[in-house]
Amino acid sequence: MNKQPLTMTVNGHERQILVAPYYSLLDTLRDELQLTGTKKGCDEGDCGACTVILNGKAVTSCLVLAMSARGAEVTTVEGLATPDALHPVQQAFIERGGLQCGYCTPGLIMAAVGLLEENPQPSAEEVKFAIGGNLCRCTGYTKVVEAILLAADRMASLG
Amino acid sequence: MLRFDFLEARNLRHAISLLERHGDESRVVAGSTDFLARWRQGFWRPAAVVNLKGIANLGRISYSPQNGLRLGALATVQSIESNAQVRRRYQALATGATSFAGVQVRNLATIGGNVCNASPAGDTLPALLAFDAQCTIAGPEGSRTLPLTELFLGPGRTALKQGEVLTQLTLPAPLPRTGSLYIKHSPRGAMDIATVGVASVVTLEEDGRTCRDARIALGAVGPTPFRATDAENLLKGQELTAGLLAQAAEAAEAAATPIDDVRGTAGYRKAMVEALTRRTLQYSLQMASGRAMPFEEQRRLAVQTAF
């Protein structure tokens, strides 16, 4: 099972790497590209900690075969902030206290970013459905939902 | 450590030839959501996977009154859930799709994968059965069609032969005055596997009272998802009173042959079949009678948890 060449765009940069054919996108991001912001929780699609944006859609990267992401555009939590500012979702999580231990946070933030790309002004219920695939054992989710709604309001007013 | 080779199918013919060549040593992947979970558990151990995801034009969704709904096998569960025609005309399929895991998995998982994995508890399967889905299958010998009811042979087993690929599901256009709903019952909501899933479709005659057609399909209460035809036959041609819906629900319960497992005992599952059949019939009847139900309301009904 020799490694195979793979080209994909990660956080705006084209990356050419060699990956084993059975590697997940999650393991590729963490082990080959050292992008360890994306977390491994359950490794079976139940916890959402590994959520990234793949070609515009929030996905559990543990369930994506890296080789099937050939030519894809991937955004991880490391790709959200600019040198000057955090992404509005990140900033809102800090201000509303939408995290405690932090392990689920990159996945929740990416799920929120995926939601707001498709539905910029969601209701609280729509936010809850959108993060239904993200497990958090600390916060109780209330402040997470508040943070995502705050980010939506700010992004809407920025246009 | 378990390993496998990755084979990229460039087109359908290439996929078929790869599957013919590698046979039982290979598995098809598309969304790969079921595959990677079950491979890591050691349940599936292929020497190679044949990836269909890169095949162009196999994920289209289209609707016309003549042809009905055509779902390319690579259509994702999320693209089906959010499709306006599906939400408007095939409510049970939209609610089946919305009850299916979290959005991150729905964005990957394909309808073809959910069908071909042939889980008794697959969340899109009761709705597909209740809408009389037909499968289009491509293989070394050409293309054939098969009713979905004949595809499922047992848990994880289908009538697909070596080298065959499911390419499309076709659901006839519902008649006017049709309503439908799927309800999934599970201990932990959409993220868990269904303890019981029921889809009902009701079509009324022009008088708005008499049942022209009724179809009911049950999930997670037998070796495959299946149609509760005895229950359906009680309803056809009759006025749908609350008493008759209750009789049909009891007939559906009688048709269920569930097992005991961690998600519920067989007896509990049978009782839930009765409750969910009655509920899905009631809501389907309301919709068929002309009471539009917004998708947000359907979504709240789609997943009913135990606790």
Is the complex ipTM more than 0.90? yes
Residues A29 and A93 in one domain: no
Name, in order, each residue with C-beta under 8 angstroms of B286's C-beta and a sequence gap of 6 or more: B179, B293
Contact A45 B104 (CB under 8 A): yes
Residue of A nearest to B299 (CA): A129
Q: What is the mean pLDDT of residues B186-205?
A: 93
Q: What are φ and ψ of residue A85, in 5° steps?
A: -150, 150
Contact B36 A24 (CB under 8 A): yes
Residues A58 and A119 in one domain: no
Probe site for chain B from A42, A44, A59 (most B CB atoms < 10 A): A59
- Provide the pLDDT for residue B199: 98
B251, B169 contact by CB (below 8 A) = no
Residues A61 and A124 in one domain: no
Residue of B nearest to A57 (CA): B107
Name the pLDDT band for B23 (thresholds 50, 70, 90). Answer: confident
Q: What does DSSP assign to residue B149?
A: G
Residue A99 C-alpha, separation from nearest chain B C-alpha, in angstroms: 20
Long-range contacts of B23-28 (CB under 8 A, 24+ apart): B23/B162, B24/B162, B26/B50, B28/B52, B28/B116, B28/B165
- Provide the pLDDT for residue B110: 98
Q: What does DSSP assign to residue B39?
A: H
Per-position pLDDT tens, chain A of length 159: 689 999 999 999 999 999 999 999 999 999 999 999 999 999 999 999 999 999 999 999 999 999 999 999 999 999 999 999 999 999 999 999 999 999 999 999 999 999 999 999 999 999 999 999 999 999 999 999 999 999 999 999 986
Which of B3, B51, B104 minimises the CB distance to A22?
B3
Contact A133 B33 (CB under 8 A): no
Residue of B nearest to A67 (CA): B6
Q: How do residues B284-296 score in pLDDT, each as one tens digit?
A: 999 999 999 999 9
Mean pLDDT of chain B: 96
Q: How do residues B89-131 score in pLDDT, each as one tens digit?
A: 999 999 999 999 999 999 999 999 999 999 999 999 999 999 9
Position with higher pLDDT, B23 vs B164: B164
Q: Is B101 on the interface with A (CB under 8 A)?
A: yes
- Provide the pLDDT for residue B109: 98
SS3 per-residue string spanning A3-55? CEEEEEEECCEEEEEEECCCCEHHHHHHHHCCCCCCCCCCCCCCCCCCEEEEC
Confidence check: pLDDT of B251 > 60:
yes
Residues A29 and A71 in one domain: yes
- Provide the pLDDT for residue B190: 85
Contact A58 B32 (CB under 8 A): no
Residue of B nearest to A43 (CA): B37
Rounded distance between C-alpha atoms, residue B168 and residue B145, angstroms: 9
Residues A75 and A8 in one domain: yes
- Provide the pLDDT for residue B49: 97
Q: Which domain holds residue A148?
A: 88-158
Which of A45, A79, A113 is a domain's end point? A79
Residues A41 and A17 in one domain: yes
Report the CATH number at residue A92: 1.10.150.120
Residues A10 and A75 in one domain: yes
Residue of B nearest to A61 (CA): B104
Question: CATH says B178-305 is which class?
Answer: alpha beta
Q: What CATH number does the domain located at B5-51 have? A: 3.30.43.10
Q: How do residues B267-290 score in pLDDT, each as one tens digit?
A: 999 999 999 999 999 999 999 999
Q: Is B4 on the interface with A (CB under 8 A)?
A: yes
Contact B102 A62 (CB under 8 A): no
Q: Is B49 on the interface with A (CB under 8 A)?
A: yes
Q: Is B33 on the interface with A (CB under 8 A)?
A: yes
Into how many domains does chain A fold?
2
SS3 A116: helix
- Provide the pLDDT for residue B187: 84
Residues A98 and A61 in one domain: no
- Please, which residues bridge with residue B104 across strands? none
Q: How far is CA B72 from CA A9, A99, B41, B57, in A?
A: 27, 40, 29, 8
Residues from chain B that touch A59, judged by Cβ atoms under 8 A, are 104-105, 107-108
Reported as type and span, the H/E element at residue A92 is: helix A88-96
Which of A79, A114, A134 is a domain's end point? A79
Q: What is the DSSP string of B263-292?
A: TB-HHHHHHHHHHHHHHHHHHHHHHHTT--
Probe site for chain A from B36, B40, B104 (most A CB atoms < 10 A): B104
Rounded distance between C-alpha atoms, residue A124 and residue B270, angstroms: 35
Name, in order, each residue with C-beta under 8 angstroms of A112's C-beta and a sequence gap of 6 or more: A89, A127, A130, A131, A147, A148, A151
Report the CATH number at residue A13: 3.10.20.30
SS3 A60: strand
The full set of domain ranges for chain B reads 5-51, 61-171, 178-305
Structural domain B61-171, CATH architecture: 2-Layer Sandwich (3.30)
- Provide the pLDDT for residue B189: 85
Total residues found in chain B within this entry: 307
- Provide the pLDDT for residue B1: 63
Which of A79, A103, A132 is a domain's end point? A79
Residues from chain A that touch B54, judged by Cβ atoms under 8 A, are 68, 70
Q: What does DSSP assign to residue B173?
A: P
Q: Is B47 on the interface with A (CB under 8 A)?
A: no
Which of A44, A67, A133 minimises the CB distance to B40?
A44
Q: Is B31 on the interface with A (CB under 8 A)?
A: yes
- Please, which residues bridge with residue B214 across strands? B202
Burial class (CB in 10 A: 0-12, 13-18, 19+), A16: exposed
